[in-house]
Amino acid sequence: MNKLESPYQYIAIEGNIGAGKTSLATKIAQEFNATLILEQFEDNSFLPKFYKDQDRYAFPLELSFLAERYQQLKDCLSVSDLFKSFIVTDYFINKSLIFSRKTLQKDEFNLYNKLFNIINQTLVKPDLLVYLYADVNRLQANIKKRGRDYEQNIKDQYLEQIQESYFDFIKQQSQMTILIIDTNDLDFVNNAKDYNYIASLIFQQYEPGIHRIKAKNEVQ
Q: What is the DSSP string of the chain?
A: -TT---S-SEEEEEESTTS-HHHHHHHHHHHHT-EEE----TT-THHHHHHH-HHHHHHHHHHHHHHHHHHHHHHHHTS--TT-S-EEES--TTHHHHHHHHHS-HHHHHHHHHHHHHHHTTSPPPSEEEEEE--HHHHHHHHHHHT-GGGTT--HHHHHHHHHHHHHHHHT-SSSEEEEEE-TT--TTT-HHHHHHHHHHHTS---SEEEEEEETTEE-
20 is a domain residue: yes
CA 111 to chain centre: 23
Query: What is residue 150's predicted lDDT score, i.e. its pLDDT?
Result: 81
Q: How far apart (Å, rounded) are the C-alpha atoms in residues 154 and 150?
A: 8
15 is a domain residue: yes
pLDDT in tens, the chain (220 residues): 456 889 999 999 999 999 999 999 999 999 999 999 999 876 788 988 998 898 999 999 999 999 999 999 999 888 777 678 899 999 999 999 999 999 999 999 999 999 999 999 999 999 999 999 999 999 999 999 988 888 888 999 999 999 999 999 999 998 999 999 999 999 999 999 999 999 999 999 999 999 999 756 444 4
Domains held by the chain: number: 1
3 is a domain residue: no
45 is a domain residue: yes
4 is a domain residue: no
Q: Would you name the residues annotated as active-site residues?
A: 90
The pTM score is 0.90
211 is a domain residue: yes
> What is the domain-level CATH number for residue 206?
3.40.50.300
2 is a domain residue: no
48 is a domain residue: yes
Query: What is residue 220's predicted lDDT score, i.e. its pLDDT?
Result: 44
Question: How would you classify the pairing of strands 35-37 and 128-133?
Answer: unpaired
214: domain range? 10-219
Query: What is residue 216's predicted lDDT score, i.e. its pLDDT?
Result: 60
